[in-house]
Structure 1
Amino acid sequence: VQNHQLGEMASGVGVADNCVTSFNDLKLKHDRKYVIYKMNDGMTQIEVFKEGAKDASYEEFCGLLPEDSCRYGVFDVEYTDPKTGGQRNKIVFFHWAPDSCKVREKMIYASSKDELKKRLVGVATEVQGSDKGDIEMTAVVERVNRV
């Protein structure tokens, strides 16, 4: 039986309603810069962990990604378009899975990611990271320029 209120996934993990609401506020109201998501303690539901104010920095976002636990996140990336020189914004989805994380946790996050992403309509691209080097802003901008 599916839990429609939470949006139960094939992995058995649900998505809390406020995950989508928070993302839509970032996308439509531009009242926050990022949203970080995490599993609840029972690993049964994805929840909003932290929201960044609209003037929050990318460094702040990266600093909230733990070295021993997985997270998902979205960040409203501002960058200069290399073709036009104009300022652009794209919402990037992050799948953070550090090497030191437990295998079971990595597997649950990996199997639950697509359902969360599917609900976050308007994501331009995805960045996967296992260490801070994987998510440096230069690599992220390079990725959004390909979209």
Structure 2
Amino acid sequence: MANAASGMAVHDDCKLKFLELKAKRTYRFIVFKIEEKQKQVIVEKLGEPTQTYEDFAASLPAEECRYAVYDYDFVTAENCQKSRIFFIAWSPDTARVRSKMIYASSKDRFKRELDGIQVELQATDPSEMGLDVFKDRAN
């Protein structure tokens, strides 16, 4: 289960919660954290369907890396209601170098575990994952 490159396992809960977000829309977002001592990715926070983008952005720590999945709803130019599942690799400039390296080396494998990601964003500060970025990338 662990990846030889980074040695990180993915907790089953991560896949389970992601499937609930994707299939049942139980959550608006999920924030994942790498638990270095246990060498695995775990679910850190679940966002209720009623929570907003601002709630999501506020749940990412300013000085630490995280992975996150956000279910973005939007209306197309043809006035169709749609949604896209975004995968965000949050790696702020202020995070520890070791942390950035661990998150970077584990990202692709972790992302493969979450089947159904439609858009990927890499962000080092909040402006790189603002709602305008979501709007641009969703179409």
Q: TM-score range by the shorter chain?
A: over 0.9
Taking the aligned partners of 1:132 and 1:28, their CA distance within structure 2 comes to 28
- The unaligned stretches of length 5 or more in structure 2 are none
Distance (whole Å) between structure 2 residues aligned to residue 85 and residue 8 of structure 1 = 44
TM-score if structure 1 supplies the norm length?
A: 0.90
User: What is residue 122 of structure 1 aligned with on the other side?
Assistant: 116
The one of 46, 49, 68 equivalent to 1:51 is 46
Q: 1:105 deviation in Å?
A: 0.4
Amino acid across the alignment from 1:94: I
Kindly tell me: are residues 43 and 139 of structure 1, through their superposed partners in 2, closer, same or farther at Cα, counting changes over 3 Å?
farther
In the TM superposition, residue 21 of structure 1 has moved relative to its aligned partner by 0.2
Partner of 1:144: 138
Aligned residue pairs, count: 138
2:15 is matched with which residue: 11, 17, 20? Answer: 20
Could you tell me how far 1:43 is from its partner in structure 2?
A: 6.4
Tell me how far 1:144 sits from its aligned partner.
1.6
Q: Any idea what SS the aligned residue of 1:114 has?
A: helix
Q: What is the identity, as a one-letter code, of the residue corresponding to 1:79? A: F
- Please report the TM-score for the alignment, with normalisation by the length of structure 2: 0.95
Unaligned runs of 5+ in 1: 1-6
C-alpha distance in 2, partners of 1:81/1:121? Answer: 24
Q: Does residue 69 in structure 1 map to residue 64 in structure 2?
A: yes
Q: Percent identity?
A: 36
Post-superposition Cα deviations, 1:88-147, rounded to whole Å, max 9, x if no partner, equal 1010000000000011100000000111110111110101111110110111120121xx
Query: Which whole-Å CA distance do the structure 1 matches of 2:65 and 2:108 have between them?
Result: 15
Structure 1 runs of 4+ with >3 Å offset: none
SS at match of 1:123: coil
Q: Which amino acid aligns with 1:15?
A: V
The one of 72, 76, 79 equivalent to 1:81 is 76
Shift in Å, 1:39 = 1.0
Deviation at 1:75, TM superposition (A): 0.6
